Every structure is written in structure tokens, then in C-alpha cells.
Amino acid sequence: MRAIRRFTVRTVLPEQLAPLDELAQNLRWSWHAPTRELFASIDPDLWSGVGGDPVALLAALGSERLEALAASEEFTGRVRAASEDLHHYLRDPQWYQRQTSASGAELPRAVAYFSPEFGITSVLPQYSGGLGILAGDHLKSASDMGVPIVGVGLLYGAGYFRQSLTRDAWQVETYPLLDPDGLPLAVLREEDGTPAVVSLALPGGRTLHAHVWVAAVGRVPLLLLDSNVPENDEAARKVTDRLYGGGGEHRLQQELLLGVGGVRALRAWSRLTGAPEPEVYHTNEGHAGFLGVERIRELVASGLTVAEAHEAVRAATVFTTHTPVPAGIDRFPKELVSAYFGGDNAMAGVPLESVLALGSEDYDGGDPTVFNMAVMGLRLGGRANGVSLLHGQVSREMFEGLWPGFDAREVPITSVTNGVHSPTWVAPRLAAVEAERLGLDEITAPDASAGWLDASRVPDAELWDLRNEMRGELVAEARRRVRTSWRERGASPAELGWVDDVLSPDVLTIGFARRVPTYKRLTLMLRDPERLKALLLHPERPVQLVVAGKSHPADDSGKRLIQQLVRFADDPEVRHRIVFLPNYDIGMAQSLYPGCDVWLNNPLRPLEASGTSGMKSALNGGLNLSIEDGWWAEWYDGENGWGIPTADGVEDTDRRDDLEAAALYDLIESQVAPTFYERTDGVPGRWLEMVRHTLATLGPKVQATRMVSEYVHGLYAPAAEAGRALAEDQFAAAKGLAGWKAHVRGAWPQVRVDHVESAGIGEAVQVGDRLTVRAYVSLGALSPDDVDVQVVHGRVTEADVIDEFTAEPLTLAESYEAGRHAFGGEVELETSGPFGYTVRIVPRHPHLTSVAELGLVANA
């Protein structure tokens, strides 16, 4: 018999144990080992049975056990100490409170961080893959560093799906419903105790309402909007039913709730808690882009024009793009967006045309019928970045159509390479050794990690024992998961005796776990099955593979890749050397990374924007074996693992896969396995040299603290300063900038370079000579103060393309009638080789963040 309603009854704790509730509700426990150990000590078997969930643990305790714990002075003393430690963590000054901006200005009082998913802990399954895990690590590190971030997302009723396999190895999805009352969440309430409600108008006179749940991620509040509330009709309740579920209109409604509703949730949060309003808004991928439209609406309501409000909003917005391919971007039919922002549903003071213009692909190669969320993010983001150096370059090339006339290198998209939150991902036993012997933690990583190069601190034999222990724990966990998976696939216990011999704690272990889109090439390792078998079954240097990953429910091609891999792993000849573990999540990942000797990543370059799984492996002493893509292209140095050669330029994808798979097999056979198995007194000395080098030199780079500090100083602080500057004196500067841009755009058709003269060099040009340049230009209605006239110079190719260039301003020399002027200057020739130059005119204003911001340039 099915219940018509479900709810969670929470335990009433004795007064002596009351702090346990706060400890359970603050998600710091998910990365703070002492707090987890406290909860585990209450009942180790029950702790394991509830999957390490403190809220579920407390709910499952009987009154007798609670009374016994309350009567224990030793235990209540530990509870008080843990509570005091949490309170110190929450209020004491941290890294951020000791920082100043490069200009000496005050750092942002608050930063809003919007993301469609957040991977904090498997207890709160609101993530599907790397984007969400990155967002979770961002919040956790911001908390550890004292950065005043507020997270904004959606609370999905079923989260992402649970993955299992059929007997025929086909992925099956189930969606266990989540009860918010049973999660470490609290609903945001009005002063009268009723839930705070955020509302959005929908087409047809309908309204979408949402409650706001708050997760405490250490010091960082995470606001999650939930549409499954009594105020909604049935269709509106389903808006937040599943992460990335449903079709186009369902996704659009989710993104409207995230962006527009998210801003309104922030306003309610500040009003009810007294928290400062954010000075910077960070859009993690384009899904939350409508937050800019809502902020424009707010400012228009206060008296600004749409253009003026756009400038004020843009100055204080940071946009991070995560996709290196157009297919990964959300694009909606313009007609659909029009239904939500036009007619009776129009935002007061914000015309539909203004909204559509933000996401319009009005550039060469664009589709005029669609609304592009990434394009809107770039137009609303005064500062934008990719998530690795290579991805920044790929993004500049992908979006250069938005800035016609400029070289891709001048497209205003920088990069901040992703990082990972080490307290979440480093095995507790390794973290304890690092703290005890090296004084190493996440904050001291750049200095203390160098201690790994001193073998006297952690001798080789001890380091090797530690690696062996972690590998052994992975083997035990993999056997448990394989047995569970086969039972779900219909096998009886009598058929599963072989599982006891799955994997070996003494064999070189390679891990591969991630989402399963086609470009990540889950099955590249299967290109030559017989050669892979030979590696797995080598009599002296065997290899074993631990594989995991989910395919999107609608991606049958990805499911077929999983099926192909699982069918290979089911073969009795090799099933003791290769396993596929279903339902990859944070909990599984935390056992995978420490236990793998090598982390494999073989995407189709350059389609991996960053990738962070290999970073987590590296922090645990794993070596990377990867295509040089994403972050690995940036930080592979020949000593921290192996770079798989790529067949760049080979158009035939099958041929390319064959070549790169062969290179992978060669590396494992000739370098990886021999290095692992070459022992002196039972210890692989060369292998451990590479492990130490990885921990010492790569460890600090992959930290999320490094990433967050780059965001703070490189993006948040400048955005806050720009936002303040444009908001001063009732937005006087925003009004001035909007008016100036309108004037420049209107006058630009008359701007041109009329004539360029040069002097100062003879036939035999030498390094050190000075080239004198004089440019005659027409500026029409613009003044010389409105522009920079620049000489652009550098090395040239055989086709006279300036390949590496520098742009230097020329100075005003003379002014003539009819808007004509002469500019001049000198260029010192500093390098030998083919050299060329040209002259161009670009707009100039103190509040522009980039020379390319307006997309206007007049080239000679």
C-alpha cells in the first residue's frame, strides 16, 4: 500500500547532545575528518549503513542510545569540542580577511555564485559531473579561505539519476525522490515563520513559485530554489523535478528560475538575514544568464534606461564558460524566449527586443532563429574566462565572431584553470601524514608540499606501504560494488564466487571515471581488444582497470559505449583484471582516486575544457596518463606522468582513434608498467620519484585555493571596483558610459585610417633601429579623446599576417578641419626576422574593460 504523503520526523536530541544537530546540518562535516569520526563513533555499523549521512544517523538513533551518549562525559566533551571548533571556523578571520586588492580598494563584501548544479556531498545529490563538482569545490574552498560567497542553485526533487545495469549491460536510470526535510537543509522563512516565496510570471497568466532552501557549506550559504510547493499548479511543481531532465521549454523554465528567481532569492536572503547584497555576480556557465536580465529590470525600476542598467550590471558580472564546443551550449528558439519575455509576460521597462538582443547570434555563421545562453553570458559579463589556458584559447577562437575585426587573441576571454578541494579528495590517512610530517594543509600547500622531495620526512618504504594500503582498500571496495552490481543484474550468490578474486592489491591499477559523452572516448582502450588483454594478463607486469561513469539518460550512443565496455569486462578471461562500477558519484570517487596508481584520460583534443579528476588523483600520489588537453596540456612536465601523443590533423576519426589507442598501449607497455614493477628491496624507486615530484610540484597548482585566489584578485576584485565606479552618484558613470557608447557606435561608420607614412629605416634594417610612424585619420563626429590610434607590429608570416603582435598607442600630432587628425610615434625594432606593422583605430574610455569591448575597429 502506497502512502499518499511522505515526510521526515526529526530526532529530538538531549540537551547535552544538541550541538550534534548543528554539526550535522553544516556540510563542513563532508570535508572535515574529525567531525565525521565523531559521528562514526556513535555507531560504526549504522554510520556505514546510512552512507555516512549525519542527519540520517541521528534520525535512526533510538532513545536508549541517545540517553547513553548524553550520560557519557567523554562523548559529550568531544561534542562540545567539535562544536567550539566549528564556531571558531565560522567566525575567525581567514585568508580573505588579510587580503587587499591590487589597487588598494576594499574587496567585494559579497559575491553571488550561480550554478545549475553543486557537488558538495553524495548526501545532497545535486550534481551530474564536472561542472557541479567544480562548483562544490569552489564553495568549499571559498569557505576555508573566508571568501564571502553566496551560492545560488536549484533543489532538484530527484537529483541526478541512480545508475544500474541490466544483465545485457544496458544502463538503467532510476530517480529516488529526495525529502528536503531529511537533508542537511533549512527552509528560508519570513519573520512570521512562513516560508519565503520567490515568484516568476509565466506565459498564459500562470505563476511559478519557489521556496528557498539553505545549505550551510561551512561559512558559505547555498540557496537552492524548489518549485515543488503547494502554491504551484502541477506543471510548475515539476520545474525542479530533475537535474537536466525534460526538453527545451522545461530547461528554459529551470534557467529562468535559476537566473531571475535566484536574484530574487538573494534579495530575500539579504532582507531576512541582514547579509550584504552581492557586489559581484558570477555565472558558472550560461545556464544562469537570465540573472543579468533581472538585475537590469531592478535598475530600470529605479530610474535607469535599459542601456544604462546594462552597463552597471555588466561591470559587476563575471561569466565562466566551460564548454569547448558549440553543441554544449544551451540554445533556445527565439519564439520560445519571446513567449516568456514578451506580450503580457514582458518585464516592466525591459522591451522584448532588448532581451533577445542579448542572446542573438547576429554574427557570421550564427543562427538568427536561436537565443544563445553563452552569448548572453558574454554580453552581460564584463569579465569572462575559460577554465584552462588551452580552453581560454579555444573559447577566444570559438566566440571571436562577437568581436569582428579583432584577432582571436584579443577576444576578452581570459582563463582561470580549475582546481580541486584537497580536504574533500585526499585520503584521510595521506592527509594525516602530510599534516604530521610536512605541516601541509590546503592553505599552506604552495610552501609545505615541497617537503615531499625530502625522502627523510616520509621514507620510500613508508610511502610505498601507504600507496599499497590505499590500493588494497580500493580493491576491497571494488569487489563489494561488483558483487552488488551483479546481484542487481540478476545473478545469484552461487554464481559470484569469482568476485572474491576480482582485482589484486599488488597489481598496477589504472582508473578511468567520468561522464560518458562520446568525446571522452570511454572505449578507446578497446580499439584493439587482444592487445588490451595482453596488457591485462601480462605474466610479469599485469595491469588492472577500474572504470566508472554515467551516460546522460537521453544519450543512447553513450549507453552503447558503456555496454561495449561492460561486455568486455564480463569476459571470464579478463574479469579479474577489469571492472565497471555502476553509479559513479562523490562517494565512489573518494575511494577511487587514492587507490589508483595511474589516472587515465583520453578525450578527443581539444574538447576537454579542463577536467579535474586527474587533479584529484595527483593529490593522492597518482600519476596521470593523459592526452595533452585541458589542464594537463598546461602542467604536464614529463615527470608527473605521461602525455599520450595525439594524431592532430587526422580527419578520419576511426584512423585517429586507432593511432592514439596504439600510442596508449605503447606507453603502458614500454614505460608505465616497467617503471611500476622495477623494484629495489621491494620498492619501485623511480616510480616513487615521480610520485614525490607530482605531490611537490603539481599538488599546489591543482588546489582550489589557488583557483579561488585567482578569481578573487583577477576577476572579483576588479569587477567589484568597476561596479562601484559605475554606481556612484546615482549611476552617473553608467549613464555616461551608455551615452558615450551610443555616440561612438553612431559615429563609427565615418571613422577610418586615411593614410600612413613611415620613416627612420634604410634598406638594411637592424635590431635597435627605430621606425617612425605617422597616421592620418578621419574621426567624423568623434574627438581624439574617444579613440586610440595604435600601431600594431610584430613578426609576420609568409602571407604577411602579423603572427605575434604588440599594439602601441600613437600620440596626437595635429588636428585639421572636418574631423581629420594626425597621430605619430616610434617603434623600436627589438627582434630580428620578418617584421610588419599596420595602424588601427579603436574606441577608448576609462571604463572599458577591453580594447575589443565594443567590437569596433578601423584597420588601415
- State in Å, rounded, how far the first CA of the chain is from the last one: 79
The reported pLDDT for the residue numbered 480 is 96
Question: 82-130 pLDDT, tens per residue?
Answer: 999 999 999 999 999 999 888 888 999 999 999 999 999 999 999 988 8
In terms of Cβ atoms closer than 10 Å to its own Cβ (0-12, 13-18, 19+), residue 606 is buried
179 dihedral zone (left: phi>0; alpha: psi -120 to 50; beta): beta
Give the confidence band of 296 by pLDDT, cuts at 50, 70, 90.
very high
Q: Are strands 317-320 and 383-386 parallel, antiparallel or unpaired?
A: parallel
Distance CA 173, CA 553 (A): 7
CB atoms within 10 A of CB 688: 19
Mapping DSSP to helix (H, G, I), strand (E, B) and coil, where does residue 434 land?
A: helix
pLDDT at residue number 472: 97
For residue 744, name the pLDDT band (cuts at 50, 70, 90).
very high
Can you give the pLDDT at residue 2? 65
Instruction: Tell me: pLDDT of 12 over 90.
Output: no
How far apart are the C-alpha atoms of 822 and 784, rounded to whole Å?
Answer: 10
| Mean pLDDT computed over 691-710 | 96
The predicted structure's pLDDT at residue 859: 92
- State the pLDDT confidence band at 766, using cuts at 50, 70 and 90: confident
pTM: 0.95
At residue 815, does pLDDT exceed 80?
A: yes
Cell numbers of 47, please?
554510520
Specify the higher pLDDT residue, 328 or 465. 465
Burial degree of 181 (CB within 10 A; 0-12, 13-18, 19+): middle
Confidence class of residue 5 from pLDDT cuts 50, 70 and 90?
low
The mean pLDDT value of the chain amounts to 94
pLDDT tens digits, 273-282: 999 999 999 9
pLDDT of 7 over the 70 cut:
no
Q: Provide the CB-side half-sphere exposure for 519 (13 A, CA).
A: 13
Lowest mean pLDDT among 169-173, 175-179, 567-571: 175-179
Q: Which of 107-111, 346-350, 519-523, 665-669 has the lowest mean pLDDT?
A: 519-523
Which positions ≥6 away from 492 have C-beta within 8 Å?
A: none
Integer Cα distance of 346 and 737 in angstroms: 26
Written in H, E and C, the secondary structure of 228-267 is CCCCCCHHHHHHHCCCCCCCHHHHHHHHHHHHHHHHHHHH
pLDDT at 304 over 80: yes
Q: What is the predicted pLDDT for the residue at 837?
A: 87
pLDDT (tens digit per residue) in 189-206: 999 999 999 999 999 999
Quote the pLDDT of residue 323: 87
Whether 468 contacts 170, CB under 8 Å: no
803 or 757, which is more confident?
Answer: 757
CB 317 within 8 A of CB 283: yes
Mean pLDDT of 358-378: 94
Q: Give pLDDT, residue 760.
A: 72
Q: Where are the alpha helices (DSSP H) in 491-536?
A: 529-536
373 pLDDT above the threshold of 90:
yes
Dist. CA 633–CA 95, nearest whole Å: 30
447 beta partners: none
Band of pLDDT at residue 159, cut at 50, 70 and 90: confident
Selection from 855, 859, 858 nearest residue 378 by Cα:
855
The answer on pLDDT for 835 being more than 90 is: no
Q: Does the pLDDT value for residue 660 go beyond 70?
A: yes
